[in-house]
Amino acid sequence: MGNYLIEFRFQSKRIRTYLKGMIYEINRRFGVGKRKHIPHITLVGPIITNNEGRLISDFARVCSQTKVMKFKGEGFGTFDNNRVVFVDIGATDKLNEFRINLVEALRPYCKLQSQDKKKEKDRFKYHSTLAMKLNQSEFDSIKTYIRNKPAPEFKQIVMRITLLKGGKILREYDFMQKRLLKRRQALNKMILRNSKELLRRFIEGKYDPNERLKQAIEYKQPTLWDKIKSFFGIR
């Protein structure tokens, strides 16, 4: 049985640097957490399934049917019951609908977590973890510490969503290029540069990846009769 995750990894250098800086600062000051951490938002998972092919197919299908999404960073937050400190994420209805669509697609053959099945975005609680697995003393100290830090506020466009297996990229969907990437392609710097250029043009209003999605939806697969008429030139 494979163990998988679906997450968003911050592609903005400015935001990623800020989040990494906060994680390392907390780590150094309080001696907690990992030395290496990729800032992210978990959307679904951990996922357990023995049908990896279907998982990849459903992941690609739901992503390909989804328009470009956005969200906001809205200050710090904590889970007091299991002592986690995080950056609070304000998800849009579109992002929440995307997560629900993923869950509904995977539910028939995957073992999902209880929180994944929550449909209300406020109950799911979107977040990007800064510190976890804390004892009570560490948690209380870090909680006090972040209260005196400027609250993070940022906006982010979802350029890619990542499907991981065992902590490594299995597939990544690129919403700017409207394509599914294998691990090698996801890590390819030239492909990434192309995506960021398209993202820049999207922000400037010069490119709309949603038009590709619209064209794909409007495209009608020709029937056998259509093919026969085309072959014989029948109108």
Predicted confidence (pLDDT) per residue in 22-58, tens digit: 999 999 898 886 656 789 999 998 999 999 999 999 9
Which pLDDT band holds residue 151 (cuts at 50, 70, 90)?
Answer: confident
CB 129 within 8 A of CB 85: yes
The fraction of the chain above a pLDDT of 90, given in percent, is 67
Q: Residues 163, 92, 12, CA angle at the centre, nearest 5°?
A: 55
Sign, Cα dihedral of 217, 219, 220, 221: negative
* Bridging pattern class, strands 70-79 and 2-9: unpaired
- Angle CA 5–158–191, to nearest 5: 85
Q: Of the given ranges (35-39, 69-73, 160-164, 226-230), which has the lowest mean pLDDT?
A: 226-230
Between CA 110 and CA 108 the distance in angstroms is: 6
- The predicted-structure confidence for 155-186, as pLDDT tens digits, reads as follows 999 999 999 999 899 999 999 999 999 999 99
Q: What are the sequence ranges of the domains in the chain? A: 2-232
Report pLDDT for 225. 58
Helix (H, G, I), strand (E, B) or coil at 112: coil
- Architecture of the domain made up of 2-232: Alpha-Beta Complex (3.90)
**Average pLDDT in the chain:** 88
Detail the DSSP E strand segments found in the chain.
2-9, 40-49, 70-79, 84-91, 127-131, 153-157, 160-165, 168-174, 179-182
pTM score, whole prediction: 0.84
Q: Give the C-alpha separation, 60 to 173, whole Å.
A: 7
* pLDDT tens digits, one per residue of 105-143: 999 999 999 888 888 888 899 999 999 989 999 999 999
